[in-house]
Amino acid sequence: MDLLRSVKDRTDETEFYTPLPDGYQLGKVKYVAIFGTVISGLGKGIFSSSLAKILKDKGLRVSPIKLEGYLNIDSGTLNPFRHGEVFVLDDGLETDMDLGTYERMLDQDLGRANFATSGQIFSTVLNKERAGSFLGRDVQMIPHVTGEVKMRLRELAMQTRADVVFIEVGGTVGDIENSFFIEAIRELRYEEGEQSVVCVALTYVLAPPALGEQKSKAAQLGMKRLMAYGILPDIIACRAEEPVLDKVRQKLSLYSNVPIRRVFSMHDLPSIYLLPNALREAGIDSEVVQLLGLGGRVNSALEAKAVSLWNTFADRLLKSDNRRIRIGVTGKYTSLRDSYASIIKALEHAGVANDVAVDIDWIDTTDITDETAAEALADVDGIIVPGGFGVRGTAGKIACIGYARRNKLPYLGICLGFQMAVVEYARNVCGLADADSTELSPDCETPVIDILPEQKKIEGLGGNMRLGGQDVEITPGTLIAELFEGAEQIRQRFRHRYEVDPTYIETLESGGLVFSGRHPVHPIMQVLELPRDVHPYFLAAQFHPELTSRPLRPQPMFVGLVAAALQRKNAAVTC
């Protein structure tokens, strides 16, 4: 094959530049690429992960990758107000929130190979140029930058032994920052050959209230723009509030050469977890299997079992609406729900596990005081104080924690919520009136929360930030041990700089605070709680439990919170 020969020939005699991982065979691995048109934020990750799930249910090994156009090396420095939550992978990489969607839907842990930014791609290419890896050629967007993108995709396929790699291209077709990603996928489709790459266009069907009907023109123009890049879509997913009308689907089919059976109505549903079944019912999974020639790899028995389990979950999800509780999320990013995406989904999972629907009250703590906390929390059955950085809103969080502790309101603290619980307890129970965190008050006299000097030297933490999966040693007989069914050690994901100063641990414990989860080696407190005879559910963790919650494996700390909140509500009704 001319292309294969040209892969090995990197001299000036050829214009082909297609580096391949060792042992990689063109055409063996299949790819599904998802592009967005018209507007951003349509749910490419939700569609992609749902489609990947139903292929995984068939016994296929799937591996997703998110291609982000921004120049950041990772998502760690992004403001939640601008880009939603930062999702931390087990290996410590800080990524886009869509990686959380993939992990939850696929029930599999992802790693660095599943996320690539323009910054990563350009850095790699420039480092190779400095090392002379391009043998004196002038380094260009095509073929070298696009070649690096293709290399990332193929390396992921090799590392994960994937049958199908799902490629989500961030942003919208027409954005200058993702144009080279689109070009790389066009080249990938050419090089891999027939039945190797399926392209999905996610678009938006407008329904202006003044017109009273669905309009497809913007979607048509989006299709044409994608096709101008050389990407001919195989499947179109139409986002809309209501089911997309047949005549709209027919127009899009006509303008894009996509058979109408592959023009899918991705209208609003009560939960994203109902989308996999909607895709199955529309036959999109069968279309992808046929397009990629994967029929011989499908395991029907495995699929039947997976579908049954998911249907049971979906049925419980819909029936949960019969009972409802309210959980207050008290933070400073509450105006943008995506800032707490994983918490929202973890509460949904926990609600299904308890056969109850969880309504969320978003409570901005910026202006809450000890005097106003009771009013702010009057209508909730439990609260979560989530993570965050900086001073703003922390005084309000402490006020909410104090109210929850005194009034036996079920409480779950996460990261900063753990630290603020320590500060509140030190001040109001242990008599350390000046207790504070050096993050909030660098010169405070009683720094119960501080950066530990020895922490900077351990475990390759990358400066003073602890990131990714870490082991937590559990104290037997405690609430956290009960929630994790007697486990002596658990693994959870961290993202923080500050710790409980060991100087004050004895004082806090003497005052009744229980540190029930610790680092196996170092003096790092990782879980705190109050005894059950003191408070029905007062629990906080230095880690982020929401990051590991899955639909069929809900995170125990959230399950416990929802159960305690439901018990409180039922008790109030009985009274």
Phi, psi of 310 (to 5 degrees): -70, -40
CA proximity to 346, closest of 492, 548, 186:
548
Q: What are phi and psi of 334, to 5 degrees?
A: -70, -15
Q: Is 415 a catalytic residue?
A: yes
* Antiparallel, parallel or unpaired: β 357-364 and 324-331: parallel
Alpha-carbon distance of 245 to 207, in angstroms, equals: 11
Burial of 207 (0-12, 13-18, 19+ CB in 10 A): middle
Considering 199, 238, 400, 415, which one is annotated as catalytic?
415
Tokens read off for 386: 């989530």
Is the Cβ–Cβ distance between 403 and 535 less than 8 Å?
no
Q: State which H helix or E strand residue 68 sits in.
A: strand 62-68
Going from the C-alpha of 340 to that of each of 49, 167, 331, 332, 367, the distances in angstroms are 19, 24, 9, 11, 20
Q: Indicate the SS3 state at residue 465.
A: coil
Are 251 and 241 in contact by the 8 Å Cβ rule? The answer is no
Which pairing describes strands 115-117 and 94-95: parallel, antiparallel, or unpaired? unpaired
Q: If you write DSSP's letter for every residue of 155-195 in order, what string do you get?
A: HHHHHHT-SEEEEEE-S-TT-GGGHHHHHHHHHHHHHH-TT
Angle (CA) 416-420-426 rounded to 5° is 150
Please, which residues bridge with residue 10 across strands? none
| Tokens at 216, concatenated | 């497809």
Helices (H), 331-415: 341-353, 373-376, 394-406
For residues 237 and 200, the answer to whether their CB atoms sit within 8 Å is yes
Q: 539 with 384: CB under 8 angstroms?
A: no
Note whether 335 and 82 are within 8 A (CB).
no
- The verdict on whether omega for the bond into residue 21 sits within 30 degrees of 0, i.e. cis, is no
Spatial CA neighbour of 191 closest among 10, 62, 13, 24? 24
In DSSP notation, 195-223 reads TSEEEEEEEE-B--TTTTS-B-HHHHHHH
Residue 413: φ, ψ to 5°: -105, 140
| Distance in angstroms (rounded) separating the CA atoms of residues 270 and 277 | 13
* Residue 544 annotated among the catalytic residues of the structure: yes
> How far apart are alpha carbons 283 and 78 in whole angstroms?
38
Residue 273 has φ and ψ, to the nearest 5°, of -75, 0
Single-letter amino acid code for the residue at 502: P
Task: State residue 535 phi and psi, 5-degree precision.
Answer: -150, 140
- Record the tokens describing residue 313, joined without a space: 């979950």
Distance CA 344, CA 338 (A): 9
Radius of gyration of the chain (CA): 26
- Annotated catalytic sites, by residue? 415, 544, 546
